[in-house]
Structure 1
Amino acid sequence: MEFYNLDDRYNDKPIIIDYRGNLLNKDKYKKINLEIKNNIKKRTLVFLFCENSIDCISIYISLLNNGIVPVMISPDLDEELCNNLINIYKPSYLILNISMKKQKFDYKKVLSNGDYIFLKTDYYEKHNLSDELAILLTTSGSTGSPKLVRQSYKNINSNASAIAKYLELNEYEKPITTLPFNYTYGISVINSHLLVGATILVTNKSIIQRDFWDFVKKYKATSIAGVPYTYQMLKKIRFFDMDLPYLKTMTQAGGKLLVELHEEFANFALKNDKKFVVMYGQTEATARMGYLPHDKSIEKIGSMGISIPNGRFELVDVDNNIIDTPEVIGELVYYGDNVTLGYSENIEDLSKDDERNGRLVTGDMAKFDADGYYYIVGRKKRFLKIFGNRVNLDEVERILNSQFTENELICSGKDDNMIVYYTKLLDEKILSDFLSDTLHINKSAFRFKKIKNIPKNESGKILYSKL
């Protein structure tokens, strides 16, 4: 049985529409699927260089349906880092846009689908892949780390089903792609909408481009997904003034949204008959673990909500004891069928079965309120000890960016030495005084550094390791 049985979900309607007006329907997909089925054996490892296009997504669906395991790779990955990954995992095929071949690869073309080509590599060894393994995602799309997350067929189906349930998705949805396809959030949008038979609007245009909004209006996109940076940009381009009556749902994940921005979008949604849904997740949990119901978006501002359907949260203290008292901070632990199999750091790890058994220690510090709604307060490792005081860097960033709204400030450093990075001119003395007064810590603990840009990955997450 196919993983995505498109015959049951799509009749005369298109599966995908791209911004040029091209369509993928059932008949076109069947042709692509048959060619892949006849040319690539089951349980073969391939590298899929992902982009938001009909060609790429149709290949992805076919790979899943035929038991072929893709490593989802950013097409912008540095050539040296990319070759390192290839040498480590030795894929049998590279599947990529033809424009990439001229830049990087000298392998024989054996198959094509539109602008995408299949290159047979020189690695002939058979990979020993776990029967459960469906896809592999990088933990950080731009670093080329060999550490991959192993997702199973059960993980993908479980998470897509839960997302479809709490967002109340149906076949009439028309989501538009706003995130990279190799990113866990981006691929979860694709998976959850394929599950319900919705038509997906696919574009690689940015939300700051007029072509993107022309596409939204022409095909009446019903939902948009974004990371915090997306919502910062939406506000800057005057999204609140746009006339988009058919756009009914806005989802946000990929990091904590500033409380002020959360409030603005939640109020906008409430006044305009739309849903604003804040979500929480990690690649290690396939995608989503928690969500804030849209009808609680004002009442519970700052919360990431409750667990997804068929999932469960708990908090544990430093001794691994369960915390059952509201407003007490502990480490967040998640339980569910979407918890992935584990990591892979080399080719031998691909044969491993489930190492997590449905339990994920998230590394996030959180608390819950009297109603059972959870609030992320920071990362376990994003704490410094400054003159004996335990300081949450994520919380300091939130406070700084709320106070100095014309700048973007981020924090890093080591014990007794916090570094604040900023991008626009500001008075460091004022900043130092503010930090000292707010945190009740001597000014000597703080250093400041102006940089041109805050390093971020393709999904907008800050790359603290680059600082």
Structure 2
Amino acid sequence: MPAELPFWQLERHAGRDAVTTADGRTLNYTELAAQADAAAADLQAGEVFALCCANTPDTLALYLGALRRQAVPLMLDSTLAPAQRGALLAAYGITRVFDGASGQWQRAPAPRAAPRAHPDLGLLLSTSGSTASPKLVRLARRNLAANAASIVQYLGLTADEVAITTLPMHYSYGLSIVNTHLGCGARLVLTEASVAQAEFWRLMREQQVSSLSGVPTLWRLLRRLRFERMSLPALRTLTQAGGRLEPEEIAWLADSARSAGRRVFIMYGQTEASARIAYLPPEQLAGKLGSIGLAIPGGRLRVLDAQGHEITEAGATGQLAYRGPNVMMGYAQAPEHLAQGAELDELLTGDLGHRDADGCFWVTGRLKRFIKVFGHRVSLDDVEQGLRAEGLDAGVVGRDDQLMVALPGATPEACAALQAALATRYRWLPAAVVVVSLPALPLASNGKLQYAELQALVDAQRVTPLAKDIAKNAPGSAPATAIASAPGDAGAADAR
């Protein structure tokens, strides 16, 4: 098992450059430690506050400072609708809010005071991305440290690495990139620019970025932009998580990396595991396209049957279960849960899969109703319940990268309006949402909605897949050599 890596103990790398901002300003580790302590100076141990994240030095400093002072940030998407954010903060009695984009503290009304957190609690993350469900993942500081150490080990990261923020810090995959690179004394390039903007590629080249990470949507967009033709001599490590890439897409990524002398790591994880669970070693990629690979160092994966017994037979399908020091303390769904200690020693992932004869694991389906959109794990039940609370008799299904809503008897205008509203609410491209009208929702005799039948009905009316819409809207008609001058997606909360 790898030793835990306290990445927030920044002084260990004194004198090395830690962070470079989009405007070219650089902080070394000593300066970053001082800024972190100053940012969190007014926080108390066990205090819970909200951190509305942006890829800025202010966000990074307060996050690290909170860990150093044993305060507990709830990491939030800074673009959450005010009503959603307010409801979440009120549910937990959180009154102190920091806006990472402006660098300013704000106050939020709350009907009750937030309780002091358990001494081990280090971080709170949402389980459902943009839907702002009150269900939170409780991560201990030791969970974060252990997972960072494990990722550094299997990626072979050193202090010579330079990573760039393709993902937001409220997303566990994006946060793990921050944790691991600071943990090994490497340098981070902080930017809010996307890969569709010239600014991003200017930074990639000028700062000699060596590591690039992304969710499937990002890699699909880069394929459209002919990423394999770009001149990026410093780039040597590519990582993918946050959803499933098809084997053909992985093959393209592997081929382009091989010709440039780069390594590709296909990874699997969940927010509940701080965020990494498994990885596929680059040398096994060609023969294991679609596999999630092996458990990370210090962890163990196994396959369970419906009764919870381990399945040892190769190829037999069951639920994937993971055990390791990075498994969360548990969930929070009410303020009093923040004071509870660790409740789990094994994580039931909710994913179905199997282990092959070589010991590699494969995900074959989902046990519960979740999809991934732009790297976010989205609860279909949460979306459906939200629509019903708004007075809509909706049925919600979906597949990765597309949320699908059925409305009985709705007009085309009503369907189009809801599609636009949901895309705006969750900050997705319009093609990530499908809204169709049906004569009625398929119900069983007991009155329960038949989701398999509903999925089939909606599939019959399914529109152009999201990947095609991305390609259509991307500046991909320009050759890769022109990307640096082209006018200006990566998603982000559970990381598979």
Q: Scaled by the length of structure 1, what TM-score is found?
A: 0.80
Kindly tell me the number of residue pairs found equivalent between the two proteins.
Answer: 402
Matching residue of 2:463? 450
1:85 aligns with 2:88: yes
- 1:18 deviation in Å? 1.3
Separation in structure 2 between the aligned mates of residue 374 and residue 409 of structure 1, nearest angstrom: 31
Following superposition of structure 1 onto structure 2, how do residues 252-401 of structure 1 map, counting pairs within 5 Å? 252-357=240-345, 359-381=346-368
Q: Is the 8 A contact 2:11 2:33 kept in 1?
A: no
- 1:19 deviation in Å? 1.5
> 2:491 pairs with 459, 462, 467, which one?
459
Matched residue SS, 1:450: coil
1:176 aligns with 2:164: yes
Separation in structure 2 between the aligned mates of residue 215 and residue 79 of structure 1, nearest angstrom: 32
1:7 aligns with 2:39: no
Matched residue SS, 1:375: strand
- 1:213 deviation in Å? 0.5
Separation in structure 2 between the aligned mates of residue 301 and residue 344 of structure 1, nearest angstrom: 36
Higher mean alpha-carbon deviation, 2-11 vs 371-380, is at 2-11
Matching residue of 1:95? 98
1:22 aligns with 2:10: no
User: 1:380 is matched by which residue type in structure 2?
Assistant: L
Structure 1 pair 227/411, CA: closer, same or farther in 2 (3 Å)? farther
- 1:122 deviation in Å? 5.7
User: 1:450 is matched by which residue type in structure 2?
Assistant: V
Q: Is the 8 A contact 2:14 2:30 kept in 1?
A: no
Matched residue SS, 2:129: coil
> 2:138 pairs with 150, 155, 167, which one?
150
Following superposition of structure 1 onto structure 2, how do residues 47-66 of structure 1 map, counting pairs within 5 Å? 47-66=50-69
Structure 1 pair 207/347, CA: closer, same or farther in 2 (3 Å)? same
- 1:40 deviation in Å? 2.1
Q: Is the 8 A contact 1:409 1:420 kept in 2?
A: no
- 1:245 deviation in Å? 1.7
- 1:221 deviation in Å? 0.2
Identity in percent: 31
Matching residue of 1:160? 148
User: 1:297 is matched by which residue type in structure 2?
Assistant: L
Structure 2 unpaired stretches of 5+? 371-397, 403-430, 437-449, 471-488
Q: Is the 8 A contact 1:420 1:449 kept in 2?
A: no
What's the CA shift string for 1:213-251, capped at 9, x where partnerless?
A: 010000100011111111100101110100112100000
Matched residue SS, 2:157: coil
Matching residue of 2:193? 205
Q: Is the 8 A contact 1:77 1:141 kept in 2?
A: no
Separation in structure 2 between the aligned mates of residue 196 and residue 408 of structure 1, nearest angstrom: 37
> 2:103 pairs with 116, 119, 126, which one?
116
The RMSD of aligned alpha carbons is 3.0
- 1:15 deviation in Å? 1.1
Separation in structure 2 between the aligned mates of residue 350 and residue 282 of structure 1, nearest angstrom: 20
Matching residue of 1:414? 451
Matching residue of 1:428? none
Matching residue of 1:104? none
Separation in structure 2 between the aligned mates of residue 90 and residue 381 of structure 1, nearest angstrom: 30
Structure 1 pair 230/197, CA: closer, same or farther in 2 (3 Å)? same
Q: Scaled by the length of structure 2, what TM-score is found?
A: 0.75
Q: Is the 8 A contact 2:217 2:490 kept in 1?
A: no
Q: Is the 8 A contact 1:158 1:337 kept in 2?
A: yes
Matched residue SS, 1:277: strand
Matched residue SS, 1:415: helix
Separation in structure 2 between the aligned mates of residue 119 and residue 304 of structure 1, nearest angstrom: 42
Higher mean alpha-carbon deviation, 235-244 vs 86-95, is at 86-95
1:218 aligns with 2:206: yes
Separation in structure 1 between the aligned mates of residue 433 and residue 290 of structure 2, nearest angstrom: 19
1:73 aligns with 2:76: yes
Separation in structure 1 between the aligned mates of residue 30 and residue 120 of structure 2, nearest angstrom: 29
- 1:452 deviation in Å? 9.5
- 1:27 deviation in Å? 4.7
What's the CA shift string for 1:277-314, capped at 9, x where partnerless?
A: 00000001110000000111111111010000010011
Q: Is the 8 A contact 1:222 1:248 kept in 2?
A: yes
Structure 1 pair 316/83, CA: closer, same or farther in 2 (3 Å)? same
Matching residue of 2:45? 42
- 1:449 deviation in Å? 3.6
- 1:135 deviation in Å? 0.5
Structure 1 pair 75/327, CA: closer, same or farther in 2 (3 Å)? same
Q: Is the 8 A contact 1:377 1:394 kept in 2?
A: no
Separation in structure 2 between the aligned mates of residue 410 and residue 294 of structure 1, nearest angstrom: 36
Structure 1 pair 34/337, CA: closer, same or farther in 2 (3 Å)? closer
User: 2:234 is matched by which residue type in structure 1?
Assistant: Y
- 1:134 deviation in Å? 0.0
Higher mean alpha-carbon deviation, 77-86 vs 126-135, is at 126-135
- 1:10 deviation in Å? 3.2
Structure 1 pair 420/74, CA: closer, same or farther in 2 (3 Å)? farther
User: 2:324 is matched by which residue type in structure 1?
Assistant: G
